Structure 1
């Protein structure tokens, strides 16, 4: 022990006072149960019975002697005191720790062994120090140093007293460290148990729950709780592949900027990086702010999230989505966290794949059931002969032909202008055939985009083309042993016509993307308002398909050719719409009926029904009130059957100009002409009429 050579004379009451001080010190130090309490209270307690200008406690690593923990306190200094990182040989602490004996520096101004520390203490006017080892019978902990601004302050008796303080301090620190280690071990054990429980709980839930969103919400909540995160989400890619949809979000303290409705871009986002690379992505707040798209990072930053872990959900070498975890604290996820989460996401990915497969099967079954009952209730409701209104000879002739052909399985071709009731006649044929107990499937060839027409008609396999995420049964297959009604058959593209011809002749076809041939038994009823024979001559329609369709043609007369049926139709439509609108309408003015009978109805029955429905809406009493002025003012522009195509073209161009180039809509050219929008577009293409930027040519 290095001590002052000069003897120190003590008064008789000094030992008693010192023992009292030591008792107080021991009592105070023994109360420390953790390192944080020691840091907060030790200097204050020590100052009550020992005068000092600085106190230093250092805990060292026994293997490397590196500083593991340090407390430095200088009373009376408001500013924070900076302690440099001294090397062990630059301070007395290394020697004291190695030799386990105290050392006293009587005067730092004259000290030559530790020049760097001497210069450091000069700036704080420290003249003498006493450095003592902190040791228990079990281990070496570190050193305890104390100093004052006067030289030769520490006598042998003072050093002996400080050694007692150091011994009690070592015991208290050892207990605090042991308690802290015990608590840490207990916390780690609890974490391991929680994680094990999570694995077991997830296993049970994953095998018992096949509802995707509910499953993912349970996963998010459990993982967030066990991993001590503030937010957890499962994101799956949208069908377009450009964004993620948040299928489940567990975020108790959310401010509302991130919700399950949030769409997150794949490009540039950490979720996208994990999804595309198939590897875990860790992000800090600064990385999120720098790397992510503004819309993505803004939501996370507004929520106050500062760190994140993004794990790909991989099953059978296919990335299904991403599990995202975030914290408010700038606390990075450890490798141990990542290793555990990688075990979790493997289970979750398998469960997601199972849930998606279950969902796909359930949706397919539901879809098939709905398609199999395709409009049967609606068809059965009012589509028998009682729904065909009229007593004219022209209509009776059509119904006689329906009775004649219905019992056979021959193909029927319905010819007539738009709005004449071709679909109604097709349903009458089906309801009077041997197939009446099976499905009547309808398909409007002009209403379906060309690129989808083949898929709608013949069906497709999963993956047959971009966007074909599931198998689809086509209308032809759906109508097996029933009737298929192809409306606007003249609009079928030429590239699909050979496949349709084969299906009609050979009764077999293949779905898109399939090599398996399917056989069907279908009765075909086709309809068109176009001149198919002329289209054949102009090479716009295959002649062999035309002959196959034209087995039993039925021409349906336009309404102007059977004016005697107009009063019956007016009464029928009046009562139909009055019942729906809960109105009581008993009569129709004679003068108005005469006007209706004289009108040429270019839109045929469809135009008449729409006109009557509008009249029912306007009627306030029990007598039907017609907006006859619309007919007088020519609000409905007739498009008569014109022999000259140039006259027909001029008429359509004129109406388009009046409608400012609008084809559809309530005030569009199609409505004014009493035509379907698709029918008018078809005629415009045929006549070479173009509409662009409100210019008609």
Structure 2
């Protein structure tokens, strides 16, 4: 079952990566494609998507003029399938159509599971050999303009990642088709205006420069807002202009008077009612034999509508650029999440260490069941190698956020200078060497779980900013003071005694209390020796399978040695020793050797008789030799013997035990 789940997860990961690649490919294609080539680019893209994602049908439709139905515009279907080329989606899929008209995506994993109101849709889906469909409406600027459907001839479970990825692809198509519509609309309007101008929509005028009199047609007077009977002069013409444009127009006229012959200029005029109009004036200067200007003849066209359309086009292009930037940002986030998803998959199928018969681990299992479904902050305390990260994974899997990947941060592995940008992100140029924007771990963990491993290693400055993020539930990227709201459940882990760290001034007291909402202490392996056989069996099976070796079991003597060893490195050390043994295995019965210098605490089959002090002295000597005469600290002799370091030192003095000179 584990292998099957792993295969499913890997397939989903592969699907997600393909969607990422398609997003980048489509974005690069459509941002550069000319308007007249959009139709062919869309059709080619449908074929490309179907090929990459193993789809049998893709249909792209536009909304009808009455906004109550959809008709086919572009489609793709495999050679053995019937393409959707219909004038009415409502006639064949009323349930689907109503869903899209409501602005909602239509998600069908299996056609046989459609509700009763989808009976007509089911019949027609089967007619097109469609058993699974994922359809997104095109909503641009708050208006529904079409939709796109991705279909399969077999039942198919559309995961959340697939739905989100295909939704981004749908947004790309929606924006490029809206750009095409806008450009076509503008081109149509410009053509209409050109034809209107050719049919006498242009205002004609002639300026007699020596006499300073202007003749103008009725259409020209209408454009400038001048009454039909009023005499015109250059000054009267200037009075018609917008105050901000008078200087530029006067400069153009002066250049004509000084020798230029061609005139073309756009400016604004104000009518008596206060309305503002953009006009385009073109003309040519006629000169006398001596070269002096005599007549300036020209035509003026009201281009207010053209300017408005130009602004609309610029706005549409800006919206498209913004949409593509947002898609790029989401693609980056999706890529980061997939990196963590691969980490999640690789760790999920490790040996199952949480099932245990030891009382300590049963208590921890109860604590997981209690706090896992909540959003409370958890602090995991335990020695190195006890499985703190696996416990954090178990808490995440028991929470409502298990469908999103848990984001991991090893605070001890990140340099102090970079910890802030890793946690909270940075903008391009935030500091020297920041060549691109980086999404922080908190932002990646939004609506999920953030695991802060070795949190006791954080520098004090980073502790203060972590406390603020936990209290305010918002962060700021380096180089951008704009706050970003986050919804993150935090699980922290440490092998340090944080209370002692607080007392020593190395850890903030307020952050300690913020993290220590629900502490869970993982016992070292030496305190739950009854779990060692089960752990050994799990590790043997794992490594034998990966190395393609036939191992039937572990030698009894080896297992007894493992049970008696103190395990200063805990589960991690046990795993490494088992892996080495499987590598060296030459037969079906595995013999596991402890590391050189380790001490076994087994009692000999026939123990020698002697005084109690002699036995105690001999045992302490053996432990000291095994630990390299290290009394204090993790893995030291005092810890193995279960004594305080000061107590052990007193016993050594009493028993006349001295470290040998080198």
> What TM-score do you get using the length of structure 1 for normalisation?
0.39
> What TM-score do you get using the length of structure 2 for normalisation?
0.41
Larger Rg: 1
